[in-house]
Structure 1
C-alpha cells in the first residue's frame, strides 16, 4: 500500500508553528509528512503530540548533506550524531539529501565523487539504523557520456543509497519519470508527486502541468514505493495547494 505525505517546504511561507502546520496537514487528509526547514523551531514534544493527534507518520526528512557527513572533525561528528538522534526522536527512518549543485553532475568524475560521498554517508547512517535517500531536481539529468548523470549516480552508489524520484523535476530534466521508476524499482524509496510546466521549467499544481500522474502512481506501486510525497515549490495559496494535492493523490490511488 502506498501512503501519501506532504513535503513541508510547500508550507514554508505560512506564519505558523510546526505543530499548527501539522494540524493543517492532518485536516487535509494526509497519512504523513516529510520534514524540511523550521523543524527545530518547536519543541520535539509538541511536534510529536501534533503528529499523534493528527494520526500522521514521519515519511522522511530533507537534511542538508553537510549535516550528515560523518567527517573526522569532532564538530562534524557531533553534528552527525545530533542530527541522527534528533530525527530518531521524531520517528524518521529515512533521511534525504535534497540537493547537490549542478557542478556535481557535469562530468563522470564529478558524478563518481558525489556517489562516493553518498556511499560514505549511507554507511554511517546504516550503522545507526537509518536509511539514506537522494532527491533529484533537473540538474541530475545532464548528459554524462551517453546517459543522464542520475543513471550513473545510481549505478555508482551502493544499494544502501535509495532515491526519492521527483516526477516534476525529472520531466523538466528530459526524463520520463514513470519509466525511470520502472527501471530502478529496487532503488526507489519515495516518489515526489510533483507536477511541472516543462516549457517554463516551473513547479505547478498537480494536474496542471505535463506530468502523467496516473503513470507515475502506477510505477510507484509497481516499485512497492512506501510514500507518494506531494510538493509544490511556490504555491500562491499553500493551504489550498496542500488540500488539492491530497484530493488529486487520493483520486489517483483509487
Structure 2
C-alpha cells in the first residue's frame, strides 16, 4: 500500500504549495491528495515529478464538479490525477431513506459525467451519514443504491460509533483510497493516540487491497509535526 497525505492537514502553513510538496517528500510520503490547487498545475506537476510524488486523488466540492467540471478536469488531468472525491455533503443528504437514495442517484449521474472526462468519482464520509434511517443508516442506504467509489474515513466512522474495519471489509471492492485519521470522543487527535483500532483497520486494508492510505488530521496543533508523525505512524504499523 502507498502512503499519501491529504493537504488539508497542512492548510494553515504559510508556505507556497511547491514548498509544502518538498516537505511531504522529505517526510517520506509516496504521494499527495489535493484539497484545492493554488498554483499553476504545470508547475505542480513538474515539482511532483522531480520529487517522485504521485497523486492519489483530489477533493473537489460537488458544486465545482456539477457546475464547471470541464475546467476542473483540465486542472487535474494536468496533474495526472485519476480520482476525484466529493469531500462533503450536508446532513440533509442522508437524513432519510429517500434522501439517501436521492443522493445516490445524484452522485451516480455525476460519476457518469466524471468518467467521460477520464476520472473515477469517490465519496468521502464524515460522521453525520451514519444516522439511523429505519433498519439501516443513511450511509449504508446510499452505498446500496450507488455505484461510486468510497473513500472511507476511519476517524469519522469511529466518531459516529460504527465499526471502521467491518465497513472496510464489507465494501472492500469499492475502496481504493482510505483516510487514516484518529479521534478521541469525537475530537481529532494524532494517529494512534485515539479510539481507533489502527492495527485492525490496516489488516482490513491489506485484505481489501487498498491502493492508498491517506493520512489526514483536521485540526493539528502543529501541522509540520503532524505531517511527519502521520507517515511515521503508518510506516511503523505496515
- Per the normalisation by structure 1, the TM-score is 0.92
Name the residue aligned to 1:147: 136
Off by >6 Å, runs of 4+ in structure 1:
none
Q: Could you say what the CA RMSD is over the residues aligned between the two structures, in angstroms?
A: 0.9
- Please give the residue correspondences for 1:158-177 in structure 2 after superposition, counting only pairs within 5 Å: 158=147, 161-177=148-164
**SS of corresponding position for 1:175:** coil
- Per the normalisation by structure 2, the TM-score is 0.98
Q: CA deviation at 1:146?
A: 1.1
Aligned length: 238
Provide the rounded CA distance (Å) in 2 between the counterparts of 1:5 and 1:65: 22
Alignment partner for residue 59 of structure 1, among 56, 59, 69? 56
Q: CA deviation at 1:191?
A: 0.6
Provide the rounded CA distance (Å) in 2 between the counterparts of 1:134 and 1:244: 26
Q: CA deviation at 1:45?
A: 2.3
- Determine if contact 2:34/2:57 at 8 Å carries over to the other structure: yes
Q: CA deviation at 1:131?
A: 0.1
Q: CA deviation at 1:177?
A: 0.5
1:185 aligns with 2:192: no
1:61-115 CA deviation, whole Å, 9 max, x = no partner? Answer: 000001112xxxxxx3xx1111111101111100000000011111111111111
Name the residue aligned to 1:100: 89
- Determine if contact 2:42/2:78 at 8 Å carries over to the other structure: no
Provide the rounded CA distance (Å) in 2 between the counterparts of 1:100 and 1:209: 25
Provide the rounded CA distance (Å) in 2 between the counterparts of 1:155 and 1:188: 14
- Please give the residue correspondences for 1:1-254 in structure 2 after superposition, counting only pairs within 5 Å: 2-37=1-36, 39=37, 41-69=38-66, 76=67, 79-158=68-147, 161-197=148-184, 199=185, 201-253=186-238
Q: CA deviation at 1:121?
A: 0.8
- Determine if contact 1:133/1:189 at 8 Å carries over to the other structure: no
